[in-house]
Copies of this chain bind each other. A is one copy, B any other.
Amino acid sequence: MTASADNITWHEHSVSNEERSSLNGHGRALIWFTGLSGAGKSTIANAVDFKLHQRRVHSYLLDGDNVRHGLNSNLGFSEPDRIENIRRIGEVGKLLVDAGLIVCSAFISPYRRDRESIRDLLPAGQFIEVFVKASLETCELRDPKGLYKKARAGEIVNFTGIDAPYEIPDKPEIVLDSDLFNVEQLAEEVLRFLSARGLLATE
């Protein structure tokens, strides 16, 4: 073998997950907020991300804003596309967690099967399903993007909660009741859970 053929050997090891976490000083997880449109997923996820950052935890937020126009810009709203949408988000969440982050992800993700597939992607304990619970009435009243109005008028079809199902999680790690509590209270509930799990070791 000539010298140039030998140039691409390397005897150091790769950076392990433990080493990335050790640099960060805390654990890693994908916090998966699921629930109806208007339940408060994005707002609570953003508040958790903000609070994690304040505690010097390396966090990231995945939501429609940074996924829909980028990675998933070539997907529509057909059933296969909706499944692929959630699958890709799960895979990206896994990579971000692999990099050592605590990731908050906020998507309706109405089907149990799709959410369970993502749980199965991650090592045990690193997928934290958070059911953001709010009555359909409350969500329709909030209607932050005017989507319920359009769905009721028939301008949008297959809208979760109106003419498409939402499958309530069987055993979510956390249930947040946004009919009863505000964002501050609910975000703190998530932080308490993470702390009890030992994921916020820098605090």
Residues of A within 8 A of B (CB): 1-2, 4-10, 12-15, 19-20, 23-24, 38-40, 43-44, 46-47, 49-50, 53, 56, 58-62, 66-67, 70-71, 74, 84, 88, 91-92, 94-96, 98-101, 121, 134, 138, 141-142, 144, 178-184
Query: CB distance B53 to A23 under 8 Å?
Result: yes
A70: chain B residues within 8 A (beta carbon) = 91, 94-95, 121
Q: How far is the CB of A114 from chain B (nearest CB, A)?
A: 15
Which 6 residue pairs spanning A and B have beta carbons closest together? A8-B40, A71-B91, A60-B99, A10-B183, A4-B179, A15-B53
Query: CB distance A8 to B178 under 8 Å?
Result: yes
Query: CB distance B96 to A96 under 8 Å?
Result: yes
6 additional A-B residue pairs with CB within 8 Å, beyond A14-B49, A23-B53: A7-B179, A7-B181, A9-B183, A10-B183, A20-B60, A99-B99
What is the oligomeric copy number? 2
A23: chain B residues within 8 A (beta carbon) = 53, 56, 58
A61: chain B residues within 8 A (beta carbon) = 14-15
Q: List 23 A-B contacts (CB under 8 A).
A: A2-B138, A4-B134, A5-B141, A7-B179, A7-B180, A8-B39, A8-B43, A8-B44, A8-B142, A8-B183, A10-B43, A10-B183, A15-B53, A20-B53, A20-B58, A23-B56, A24-B58, A60-B95, A66-B98, A70-B91, A70-B95, A71-B91, A92-B92
> Given A8-B43, A9-B183, A88-B71, does the pair A50, B14 have CB atoms closer than 8 Å?
yes
